[in-house]
Structure 1
Amino acid sequence: MDEEEFMRGRVYGADHEDAGPRLGRTYAQLLGGPLDGLLLDVTDRPAEEARGVVALLTELGAFGSGGRALYGPVDADGRRLAWQGDAP
């Protein structure tokens, strides 16, 4: 994926009218699972958290409304997060 294609992605948790990435922010791409292809804003995420798993609210996972999709880092820079499973 080139930079232009990356910047066209939708951002997790953003309003539908303003769902694209913003200049000056840092994003990780979500891979697999119910949020596949979305971008997660990680601009203010501390470096030690970048190596951990994040639990993102979603209605699309195995637990429905109020459930969470778990994503963990694929690479050292934290720019790609792979689906680890769902949690209630």
Structure 2
Amino acid sequence: MDEKHDHDEQLLRGRVYGADHEDPGPRPGHDYRELVGGPLDGLLLDTTGWPPAAFAAGAALTTHLGRHGGSGRSHYTPREGDPRHWDHTGDTP
């Protein structure tokens, strides 16, 4: 892993995916899942208001840090037995 990528990952820890850089932290009363592995490792995904069926499907999240750069998506699915953590399952263009 190169130095810039390592620095980017450290900046993301504890932040909410898609949140404004000025206000990156979690908000009270919201429901979050922690992303594990892959380019979004350590980010929190705000799932407040998601319908139950959406949790089984997981999420395909856009990121410039993934294998496919700015046009790619990183896929995360709920961890069996621990649905608060979502594991990286791959990247797509």
TM-score by length of 2: 0.81
The aligned counterpart of 2:59 is: 54
Does residue 45 (structure 1) correspond to residue 50 (structure 2)? The answer is yes
Query: Where do 5+ consecutive residues of structure 1 fail to align?
Result: 1-7
Please give the alpha-carbon distance, in whole angstroms, between the structure 1 residues aligned to 2:43 and 2:17: 6
TM-score by length of 1: 0.86
More helix by share: 2
**RMSD over aligned Cα, in angstroms?**
1.5
- Number of residue pairs matched? 81
1:16 pairs with one of 10, 13, 21:
21
State percent identity of aligned pairs. Answer: 54
Range with greater deviation from structure 2 (23-32 or 74-83): 74-83
Q: Show structure 1 runs of 4+ deviating over 4 A.
A: none
Query: Where do 5+ consecutive residues of structure 2 fail to align?
Result: 1-12
> Can you list the C-alpha shifts for 1:3-40, whole angstroms capped at 9, x where unaligned?
xxxxx821000001100000000000000000000000
